[in-house]
Amino acid sequence: MRASHFKGMILISFLTLALIGCDKGKGKSGEQKMQQVKSYEAKDYSHLIGMPGLTETALRLHFSLYQGYVNNTNKLLEEMKTLAEQGMANTPQYAELKRRFSFEFNGMKLHELFFENLGVTPSALSPNSSLYKALEASFGSFDSWQKDFIATAQIRGIGWAVLFYDPSAGRLMNAWINEHHVGLLSQCIPLLVLDVFEHAFIVDYQLDRASYIKAVMQQINWKVVETRFEGKQAM
Ligand SMILES: [Fe+2]
């Protein structure tokens, strides 16, 4: 075999391997595009039953309300998809479903954040933790933060008190979310979430929201809250 012929064969083999490599890449990317989008599923928070401050009746009622938000989120997604496929995306019916969506979706997500930051055996926030120090930096002291958070949770109306972190400024803020969808702070991370809809406390505390807040604030799983904060600090 002549040297030039041999070199030609090596070049062809190299190009063939390179093309196979490209095809493999295309296949991988194709698989990613075909990845299934999952429906939402209600998570199980029954481990909270027995926690001080909330009865089993109140918790089970709350879990079933949460299940409703998950169901409605899936239902709205399906209904909007069907309407869009039927060419009805410019109808008032479609617009109303779109408006409704953030209520159901955030209702689902905020409940998950709330249940996840509760604990049967609460964990305390260490004064040496980065979150504790960040609370001091934003509010002056942990007690000042807590006072402000409780005041936020006592705002008249139905909604949520949320401790948010804004990584762009290194700032922690207590915010009020009206219902589930009005008042969310864009690009901020919800660290601690407290449900103050009447359904959250009326079974155990009737209209005494202050006692409900006091009891639930003693059941915070700060390890979860810290995990949400870790790695999110401003550069
Ligand atoms: Fe709730």
Q: Which residues pair with 55 in a beta bridge?
A: none
DSSP state at residue 216: H
Looking only at Cα atoms, what is the longest distance across the chain? 95
Q: Which residues pair with 222 in a beta bridge?
A: none
DSSP state at residue 140: S
Mean pLDDT of the chain: 89
Cα dihedral: 49, 51, 57, 62 (round 10): -80
Please report the DSSP string for 5-48 in residue order: HHHHHHHHHHHHHHHHHHHHHHHHHHHHHTPPPPPP-PPP-GGG
How far is the C-alpha of 45 from the C-alpha of 56, rounded, in Å?
A: 12
Ligand 1 mean position, distance from CA 20 (Å): 54
pLDDT (tens digit per residue) in 29-45: 555 567 889 999 999 99
The topology (CATH level 3) of 51-235 is minor pseudopilin epsh fold (3.55.40)
Token pair for 15: 């190009």
**pLDDT given at position 31:** 54
Ligand 1 mean position, distance from CA 71 (Å): 15
Ligand 1 mean position, distance from CA 130 (Å): 29
pLDDT (tens digit per residue) in 115-164: 999 999 988 999 999 999 999 999 999 999 999 999 999 999 999 999 99
pLDDT (tens digit per residue) in 58-102: 999 999 999 999 999 999 999 999 999 999 999 999 999 999 999
The residue type found at 99 is R
Ligand 1 mean position, distance from CA 98 (Å): 22
Ligand 1 mean position, distance from CA 28 (Å): 42
The contacts of residue 107 (CB under 8 Å, 6+ apart) are 66, 69, 72, 73, 180
Ligand 1 mean position, distance from CA 111 (Å): 6
Q: Which residues pair with 190 in a beta bridge?
A: 164
How far is the C-alpha of 176 from the C-alpha of 154, rounded, in Å?
A: 10
